[in-house]
Structure 1
């Protein structure tokens, strides 16, 4: 057998052996994976794993604020085990009374992620806490979903201000 024929035979055998493996890999890729496969348990997530852009949705819009917003979280400049960032809202799309809400279109955030619980303080003026966010990482979401409540703590908020349920979903690509 000539070297050319040996080489051709070798390529043919490699192709024949690889074909079933390739087809099997495609079939396995099409099987739906469970959400928890390959995910770190929510309680073990670290702050760095939640850095990025998030979509905020409130179950019902807080008074004078829109039902949707965006949130950006990153490493806190002073405390490496904490997060900081901002929440952005389109106040033009808000329903209800906007005057005196005590909330800015872009407010600063700072907080912690510990044992799967996210706590954030919001400040519209960089001095006073104007709202609090308390959420829990959704188990099996691979750190891409948080559910919890938001509470208006601004100076203009009534004493009996209710907690508003929210959902955070990480924007793909972050």
Structure 2
């Protein structure tokens, strides 16, 4: 059992895509979102909003028109119906290193704005910040966690 523990830990670290602090996290884990390759934002994410009973699913990919991301967020139906709410997303990492995303329910007008920061030690897999509802200017804390692999169109 004692011999299996180091091998298990090595597999666990490799699977998470993040080195531990003793293995040089500075080299493997970006300290700031500006250090992330854009492709690391691609894929499936889980978004949790303060006060919402269930997680929303975010899917991001390459934006066809500029160096950023485009995708969708699918929120579970709030009114008990079987129909989830889907909105379009577009954004990037701004000059200050914040993940900045515009959300649109109709594809034309901005219905929400996301501003989040990369969490230390998350290796690009967690952002925390504030989502602002454009309809009533209310703000809601969010946590965005990467699901699946670190890079690629997943």
Please give the TM-score of this superposition, normalised by the length of structure 2: 0.74
Contact 1:60/1:67 (<8 A) preserved: no
SS in 2 for 1:120: strand
Structure 1 stretches of 5 or more lacking a match? 1-22, 99-103
Contact 1:108/1:123 (<8 A) preserved: yes
Matches within 5 A, 1:6-155: 27=6, 30=9, 34=20, 37=25, 38-42=28-32, 43-61=34-52, 67-79=54-66, 81-91=67-77, 94=78, 105-114=85-94, 115-153=96-134
More helix by share: 1
Q: Superposition RMSD on alpha carbons, in Å?
A: 2.8
* Map of 2:141 onto structure 1: 165
Please give the TM-score of this superposition, normalised by the length of structure 1: 0.66
Displaced runs of 4+ in structure 1, greater than 4 A?
Answer: none
More deviation in 125-134 or 32-41?
A: 32-41
More strand by share: 2
Q: Would you say how many aligned residue pairs link Structure 1 and Structure 2?
A: 133
Q: Using the alignment, how far apart are the partners of 2:45 and 2:139 within structure 1? A: 20
Structure 2 stretches of 5 or more lacking a match? 14-18
**Max radius of gyration: which structure?**
1
Q: Using the alignment, how far apart are the partners of 1:172 and 1:30 within structure 2? A: 19
Contact 2:54/2:76 (<8 A) preserved: no
